[in-house]
Amino acid sequence: MFIFCFLLTSILIFQIPRKYEVRSSLEVASSLVGDRLEPVEAPPQIAKLIADLYRSQSAIELQQRGVAISSLAAVGDVKVEASGRNVILTNQISEAHAGVAKDFQSAIIDQAIKVGAPLVENVRLAILARVDAVTGNAGILSDRLEKLRAEANQTNRRQEGLNELLASLQNDYSDKIKRLTHQQDSQNALEDLREIRERISNQQAHSRELSVDRARIGHELLETQRLLEEQFRLQRSGKRELSTLSNFRVALSPSILPVPIANQSLPLFATAAIFSFLMAFGTIVALQKFQTSSFWREASSALRPEFDQLKIKAG
């Protein structure tokens, strides 16, 4: 009984129409930020939009093309999940609805690409604006750097001239000190020495001012150079982002894949085995109850004399 029921249910299982899986994938637009490719919009957010919005819009579009509502209902349960920078769409349907499922997923992906195109363009324009701004800043900083270098060169020349003048004044002062003892008019010599000391003092004060200017210019040169290098780095980064910016695209066009038979049949075969076992067990229990019933004992007693006569004749 078990084998009969199991064979019968197995034949029925093999008569069940085979399922197919329609799978497609959308690659989200991305750009290189730092050392990593980053999507311009989070794939989970795209998957949510597909499930909540694009799916119904695509169904309406296919219905307007003449696709039957019953077919759309059969393929409407699209599974949407985000994986890395991709959004994956899957349907499990019968072979009769495979074509509609492919069209449905294509319409969904087209809708996502159409909506995502302006976003990519806005990102591109934002990167271009940032690169232009950085390029402008770099030009301003370059001009300032040249002016500071020219100012530093001028200050250095002034410092060199001042050093030469101080050296000359100090030599003149030393000579006048040496000649002071041999001069008759010491009063005029002292006036000359006083004048030279004042000039030396003034020039030394001027030298200190030039030293402060040189320190200030040196600091501004270093800071401007650092800012300029930072602008160049941002410019390179922006150009790299711009060159690596990709659009939303179809990573995998809708494809029909047979669902493995084991995935469909194993649960059914397990159910069939349990059903067959229960049928066999029920049959055994029913037969035992029938044999122990009063009707079966009366029928057996009535047939026994005839059975005994047949045994005597056979003997």
pLDDT digits (tens, 9 = 90+) for 15-32: 455 678 899 999 999 988
Domain extent, residue 80, equals: 20-128+247-259
Asked whether residue 189 is assigned to any structural domain, the reply reads yes
Predicted pLDDT at 80: 93
For residue 276, pLDDT over 60 is answered with: no
Count: domains in the chain? 3
Examine the domain organization and report whether 227 and 267 are in the same domain.
Answer: no
Model confidence at 118, in pLDDT bands (50, 70, 90)?
very high
Q: What is the DSSP string of 78-123?
A: -EEEEETTEEEEEEEEEGGGHHHHHHHHHHHHHHHHHHHHHHHHHH
Examine the domain organization and report whether 223 and 140 are in the same domain.
Answer: yes
Asked whether residue 310 is assigned to any structural domain, the reply reads no
Instruction: Give the pLDDT mean for 310-314.
Output: 46
Examine the domain organization and report whether 155 and 202 are in the same domain.
Answer: yes
For residue 41, pLDDT over 70 is answered with: yes
Work out the mean pLDDT of the chain and round it to a whole number: 78
Exposed / middle / buried, residue 141 (Cβ in 10 Å: 0-12, 13-18, 19+)? buried
Asked whether residue 147 is assigned to any structural domain, the reply reads yes
b/e map 167-191, b = 16+ CB within 10 Å: eebeeebeebeeeeeeeeeeeebee
Examine the domain organization and report whether 197 and 230 are in the same domain.
Answer: yes
For residue 188, pLDDT over 90 is answered with: no
Examine the domain organization and report whether 186 and 284 are in the same domain.
Answer: no
Predicted pLDDT at 267: 56
- pTM comes to 0.62
- The pLDDT > 70 percentage for the chain reads 71
For residue 78, pLDDT over 70 is answered with: yes
Asked whether residue 227 is assigned to any structural domain, the reply reads yes
Examine the domain organization and report whether 101 and 68 are in the same domain.
Answer: yes
Predicted pLDDT at 284: 59
Give ∠ CA 45-31-81 in degrees, rounded to 5.
30
Question: φ and ψ at 240, to 5 degrees?
Answer: -70, -40
Predicted pLDDT at 293: 55
Predicted pLDDT at 308: 47
